């Protein structure tokens, strides 16, 4: 925080910082989406080192049981990439703030929202999916609560929320059109592990465990 205050002294500095980090986020997430489609051979060495070969084989067999291989991208494992996506979730609020400005960066912000949404879907991680959904609801509620209703600016906030949902929905539809099998495998994981009527719902199972520990 102290470094941020020392480096960002004006609104222009903030926009430059935002643009630079947004480009990095887009690159990483686009590579993650590509790996989730192409497969684990993308960005992975052809010959693995002996000290991690057995671990990778065990993880690959475990991932085969869930119909898809979650991407790990340039990170050592997929959990670190998942943590990166959770950090990207907090970036959604900055994207919406930038979308409020009447500049060319507004369209760039919507693209970032769409890519983060698709990357979260293709990551095949329940935690990342729940964190993103929760963050989106909290940010939406905060925008509606802080909107200047008397000045008539609330309509702009509502339009930005609608456009954010629209671009994410269109991006998911595009993915389902061109890569139906890859998207269907991720949706099957979320449906079977998060749906309330699923016998293998981890959401219900963990809720029961938390209740038992509290009582």
pLDDT in tens, 131-182: 888 888 888 888 778 767 666 667 777 887 888 889 899 999 999 999 998 8
pLDDT in tens, 81-91: 888 888 887 77
Cα 76 versus chain centre, distance: 18
Helix count and strand count (H, E) for the chain: 9, 0
Q: Is the pTM of this model over 0.95?
A: no
What does the pLDDT read at residue 62? Answer: 45
Q: Is 137 helix (H, G, I), strand (E, B) or coil?
A: helix
Task: List pLDDT tens digits, range 33-42.
Answer: 888 888 777 7
pLDDT digits (tens, 9 = 90+) for 52-110: 555 555 554 444 444 455 666 667 667 788 888 888 877 766 666 665 565 566 677 78
Residue count of the chain: 215
Please report the pLDDT score of residue 169 as a whole number: 92
The domain limits of the chain are 19-167
Distance CA 196, CA 198 (A): 6
Residue 177 burial (10 A CB sphere; 0-12, 13-18, 19+): exposed
Per-residue pLDDT at 176? 93
Q: Are 120 and 73 in contact (CB under 8 A)?
A: no
Q: Compare 188 and 204 and report the one with higher pLDDT.
A: 188
The pLDDT, as a whole number, for residue 199 is: 74
């Amino acid at each position: 925080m102290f470094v941020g205050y020392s480096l960002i002294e004006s609104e222009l500095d903030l926009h430059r910082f935002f643009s630079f980090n947004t480009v990095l986020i887009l690159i990483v997430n686009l590579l993650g989406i590509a790996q989730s489609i192409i497969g684990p051979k993308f960005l992975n060495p052809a010959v693995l080192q002996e000290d991690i070969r057995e671990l990778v084989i065990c993880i690959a067999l475990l991932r085969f049981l869930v119909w898809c291989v979650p991407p790990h991208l340039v990170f050592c494992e997929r959990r670190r990439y998942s943590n990166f996506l959770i950090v990207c979730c907090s970036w959604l609020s900055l994207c919406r703030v930038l979308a409020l400005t009447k500049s060319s960066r507004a369209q760039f912000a919507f693209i970032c929202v769409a890519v983060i949404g698709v990357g979260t879907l293709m990551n095949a991680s329940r935690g990342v999916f729940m964190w993103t959904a929760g963050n989106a609801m909290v940010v939406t509620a905060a925008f509606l609560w802080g909107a200047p209703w008397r000045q008539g600016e609330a309509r702009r906030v509502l339009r930005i929320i609608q456009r954010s949902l629209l671009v994410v929905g269109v991006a998911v539809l595009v993915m389902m059109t061109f890569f139906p099998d890859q998207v269907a495998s991720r949706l099957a994981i979320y449906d079977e592990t998060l749906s309330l009527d699923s016998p293998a719902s981890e959401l219900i199972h963990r809720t029961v465990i938390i209740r038992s520990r509290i009582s």
